[in-house]
Amino acid sequence: LYRGLADADLDAMAAYLYGNLRGSLKKIDALIKAQPKNAYFHEIKGDALMKANKPVEATAAFLADRPGHDAAGVALAFHRDH
């Protein structure tokens, strides 16, 4: 069991760095659920999604914590142009 968010963050990062993308995304999503406005958690989710070759989903993750940004619109524009 985790002692706190710091332990959960380290576990998610270890899963990501060792190539367990599916496991890391589940752990990162749990971190985001605990702290939805934490930009760092959205950033590491975007990084993991980019590593998984999912640029549209990564774009949405990178912009998820930024009010006023249309993550879906940016992702669709990226997908359309690539």
Token readout for 40 is: 């760092």
28-75: pLDDT as tens digits: 898 899 999 888 889 989 989 998 899 889 988 988 877 665 555 655
* pLDDT for 29: 93
- pTM equals 0.70
Read off φ and ψ for residue 3, nearest 5 degrees: -90, -15
Reported as a single tens digit per residue, the pLDDT across 11-20 is 887 887 777 8
d(CA 36, CA 23): 19
Q: Say which amino acid occupies 19.
A: G
Q: Distance between CA 61 and CA 7 in Å, rounded?
A: 22
